[in-house]
Amino acid sequence: MSPRNSALEARRTRQRILDHSVMVASAEGLEGLTIGRLASDLDMSKAGILGHFGAKEGLQLAVVEAAAELFAREVPQRVPKTPPGLQRLRAVCEAWVSYLERDVLPGGCFFTAAATEFDGRDGPVRDAVAGVHAQWQHDLRRHIQTAVEAADLPADTDPDQLVYELVGIMLALNQLRQLQRDPLAATRARRALNRLLDT
């Protein structure tokens, strides 16, 4: 096998490990990702798994990054041509609801689960999860500020408060779908969003 083909195969194998790991971690947590479990699931050796990530923490950090890329594809990148401001805010919120409604991951929102698992800890994994949350909230805040500047939202809108309430709706949606199996959870989330963003 040529070096180029060997490198391509290594990237494919790494991506295969990450794709499976995101699925497992969404339902069983990042701590549920054991090297032995992945080796068994993927019919690989433990050394083959470790060779791509070095150690469990390296794997966890790579999984957080992969989950962030998945979220980006499924939510903000689904509405790239939507005009900025309130229209973009509504569109990304709808994509966010759809992402959870379609059960893209078996455990629902990866970052809700990861935040619950790591919020009381210190360390690189906790910081990585918090960083993704902070970036997404920054993006929402930017959409809100653009909408205020365009007079699509009231001038006295508090962007931080609105972000807080949007995140709260999505946390409720995820919990009601995952814990209560509520078939109306997405409908309720859309009603709440419409009430919140109705100008």
| Domain total of the chain | 1
SS (H, E, C) 141-172: HHHHHHHHHCCCCCCCCCHHHHHHHHHHHHHH
For residue 22, tell me if it sits in a domain.
no
For residue 64, tell me if it sits in a domain.
yes
Q: How many whole angstroms separate alpha carbon 130 and alpha carbon 126? A: 6
Per-residue pLDDT of the chain (199 residues; tens, 9 = 90+): 556 668 888 899 999 999 999 999 999 999 989 999 999 999 999 999 999 998 899 999 999 999 999 999 999 999 999 999 999 999 999 999 999 999 999 999 999 999 999 999 999 999 999 999 999 999 999 999 999 999 999 999 999 999 999 999 999 999 999 999 999 999 999 999 999 999 6
pLDDT for the residue 6: 80
For residue 39, tell me if it sits in a domain.
no
pLDDT for the residue 107: 94
Reported pTM:
0.92
Q: For residue 119, which amino acid is it? A: D
For residue 74, tell me if it sits in a domain.
yes
CATH of the domain at 115: 1.10.357.10
User: Would you list the DSSP string of 109-142?
Assistant: -HHHHHHHHHTT--SHHHHHHHHHHHHHHHHHHH
For residue 3, tell me if it sits in a domain.
no
For residue 37, tell me if it sits in a domain.
no
pLDDT for the residue 4: 63
Closest CA to 70 of 25, 39, 38, 32: 25
Q: How distant, in Å, are the alpha carbons of 67, 84, 94, 114, 137 from that of 22?
A: 6, 31, 23, 11, 22
Q: How many whole angstroms separate alpha carbon 142 and alpha carbon 2? A: 47
Domain ranges, residue 183: 58-197
pLDDT for the residue 2: 59
For residue 166, tell me if it sits in a domain.
yes
For residue 41, tell me if it sits in a domain.
no
